[in-house]
Amino acid sequence: MENSIHQIIIIGSGPAGLTAAIYASRASLQPLVIEGAQFGGQLMQTTLVENFPGFSKGVQGPDLMLAMRKQAEDFGTRFVAGDATKVDFSKRPFTVWVGEQEFKAQAVIIATGARAKWLPLESAERLRGRGVTACATCDAPFFKGQDVLVVGGGDTAVEEASYLAKFCNKIYLVNILDSLQASKAMQERILGKPQFEIILDSSVIEILGGGKVIGVKVKNNKTQEEKVLNATGVFIAIGHSPASEIFKGQLELERDGRIKVIDNTRTSVAGVFVAGDVADNKYWQAVVAAGFGAMSALDAQKMIESSHATIG
């Protein structure tokens, strides 16, 4: 497999990568997916997903990704376990390495996703998916009538808090700095409203609970005073990190590390396409990433057909 020239290599196996694989394989392009050390992206660490179309009662994140992977495989997609470690986009065919293995392709779709920045706490990791999450849009309905806490002070944190207000009784917003960094327009959504309590210059030092969150311990960074807030949900909104490290020097990136989109799904290198959260700085939703994946596969297919690229 390593010595042949594939028509399409897809790097990543979350909703964007697997949807791209489904479209590409149905077009008889025999895509090769480099799926990472663990396939499925962030949804593999998610429990019930209620906002993906077609599942009226919701679906477990891992079950959704397994179904998408099987669909791609049934259409002829081939998979390589392991992370892409290096790429060469300086000439076609492009080269992608997985450790010492070398793969070549006429087109590449990058769907490596982004990682939500996480609190460096054992309790945050232990309770991930059990009351600790990084997506209000995904999980807010599970906390109807409850008190919850949002970590962060930028636009994303305030937007998360505003969305949670539709479901939750009280929202604590805890920011490590002494002021909010969100835009004035965003801040006006929450300032002065009794449903929100803003706690500045403070850090979350422990999330309490065994199988689920029962409270959050917060420390004031100036006074060192500690207190426990009776929140049953924690929403971490301190940013995302695009998984784009190996593409530095190969593609044009935005200042925040996202891959720059030149036209729809095209990148700064002709023949290299992008899909999903590695280029998205706004939505971070599985269904959006899936749509992005379909677009990238259609764009790659058109490019391959127009250039009459074939497997060497």
Instruction: Respond yes or no: is residue 168 known to be catalytic.
Output: no
d(Cα 271, Cα 105) in Å, to the nearest integer?
10
Q: Of residues 139, 147, 280, 299, which has the active-site annotation?
A: 139
Three-class SS state of 171 = strand
Instruction: Respond yes or no: is residue 139 known to be catalytic.
Output: yes
* Strand pairing class (147-151; 94-98): unpaired
E-strand spans in the chain?
5-11, 32-36, 48-49, 59-60, 78-81, 86-88, 94-98, 101-110, 114-116, 132-133, 147-151, 170-174, 196-199, 202-208, 215-220, 226-229, 233-236, 240-242, 272-274
Q: Of residues 135, 147, 280, 299, which has the active-site annotation?
A: 135
Structure tokens at 156: 């994303």
Instruction: Respond yes or no: is residue 135 known to be catalytic.
Output: yes
d(Cα 298, Cα 144) in Å, to the nearest integer?
40
d(Cα 54, Cα 46) in Å, to the nearest integer?
18
Structure tokens at 150: 């949002």
DSSP 80-108: EEB---EEE-SSSSEEEEETTEEEEEEEE
- The helix or strand, by DSSP H or E, that contains position 23, with its residue range, turns out to be helix 15-26
Q: Of residues 74, 83, 88, 138, which has the active-site annotation?
A: 138
In 3D space, the residue among 217, 198, 106, 107 whose CA is nearest the CA of residue 153 turns out to be 198
d(Cα 69, Cα 72) in Å, to the nearest integer?
5
CB 185 within 8 A of CB 99: no
CB 46 within 8 A of CB 67: no
Q: Which residues are catalytic?
A: 135, 138-139
